[in-house]
Amino acid sequence: MRNFALIGAAGYIAPRHMKAIKDTGNNLLAAYDKADSVGIIDSHFPHADFFVEFERFDRHIEKLKYEKDLFLDYVSICSPNYLHDAHIRFALRSGADAICEKPLVLNPWNIDKLQRVEEKTGKKIYNILQLRVHPSIIQLRNKVANSLKDKKFEVDLTYLTSRGNWYQTSWKGDISKSGGIATNIGVHFYDMLSWIFGDVQDNIVHVHEKDRAAGYLEFENARVRWFLSINSEYLPSEVKKKGQTTFRSITIDGEELEFSGGFTDLHTLVYKDILDGYGYGLSAARTAIEIVHDIRNARPEGLKGEYHSFLNR
């Protein structure tokens, strides 16, 4: 049984990590969050210690080591994006590997620096890239790998996931903390696309606003028009009529990729992979971090060239 600590325990995604730790037969020793609404811990690890101050959490981890011979194997990181870098460093300094939420960091050079921390400490950094363990995505990757080497697939990716006004008030609406909508929401998809279709050849941004972003990405094996939004106004009317708040569509050469199901428990699959000695680390995370950094810093071109059809709405 491995020992875990968890940072960001009161947030939305933390329960999936608690479940993954439990489902893989491991133990949560301690958790930390600056907010104290963490009753959810009782559903998974009622005996875990909990801290709302970093200093006390840090001290506790040290004391477990030196007074009780209890060592941390992993620190799971579910804090806001801009804090991942600092929390990863804490994990490795404490003698643990880090399992960090997406986006691993906000900028490519953060990865270079973290690589040095890995080398110095001999500990590893893993990233939650859960679409890479989704059965339909693995199937698609195999299909593309078996197709003609010089084939370019035509891909249209649309992801609408409605969020209320709270989003803009929270750290997620602050570009310096979340990286903006393309970084925070899109990173899963850019990672998936580059994992399936190869190296990036072109990255053009058409629109990048607080509640929507769209652009064109060209990979070795695909030309992709993408559109993301958290604004429910962009939901297709048939989706709205059904009362649904999310719309996800990926068409490849005009054919819809069926991947509506299979999203539950992907975190547990990622944990299993890591515990089995696999898992995706710094080098795997790099391409998507480069893509989101470039999107964040690009000057949007407006409705020119290969833009997504939703921009005409």
Interface residues with ligand NAD (CB under 6 A)? 7-8, 10-13, 32-35, 78-81, 83, 101-102, 128, 130, 184
Helix axes 187-197, 282-297, angle to 10 degrees: 120
Across 119-128, b (16+ Cβ under 10 Å) vs e yields: eebebbbbbb
- Strand ranges for 66-188 from DSSP E: 74-77, 97-100, 125-127, 153-161
Q: How far is the CB of 8 from ligand NAD (least distance, A)?
A: 3
Task: Please say which residue, 51 or 153, places its beta carbon nearer to ligand NAD.
Answer: 51
Q: Which residue has the tokens 């949560």?
A: 28
Q: How far is the CB of 253 from ligand NAD (least distance, A)?
A: 27
The helix/strand/coil state of 275 is helix
Task: Please say which residue, 93 or 152, places its beta carbon nearer to ligand NAD.
Answer: 93
Q: How far is the CB of 79 from ligand NAD (least distance, A)?
A: 4
Q: How far is the CB of 38 from ligand NAD (least distance, A)?
A: 8
Q: Which residue's CB comes closest to ligand NAD?
A: 11
Q: How far is the CB of 15 from ligand NAD (least distance, A)?
A: 9
Task: Please say which residue, 81 or 268, places its beta carbon nearer to ligand NAD.
Answer: 81
Decide: residue 218, CB within 10 A, 0-12 exposed, 13-18 middle, 19+ buried. Answer: middle
Task: Please say which residue, 22 or 152, places its beta carbon nearer to ligand NAD.
Answer: 22
Task: Please say which residue, 57 or 307, places its beta carbon nearer to ligand NAD.
Answer: 57
Decide: residue 76, CB within 10 A, 0-12 exposed, 13-18 middle, 19+ buried. Answer: buried
Let me know: does 232 contact 240? Beta carbons within 8 Å. yes
Task: Please say which residue, 13 or 145, places its beta carbon nearer to ligand NAD.
Answer: 13
Decide: residue 33, CB within 10 A, 0-12 exposed, 13-18 middle, 19+ buried. Answer: buried
Q: How far is the CB of 232 from ligand NAD (least distance, A)?
A: 18
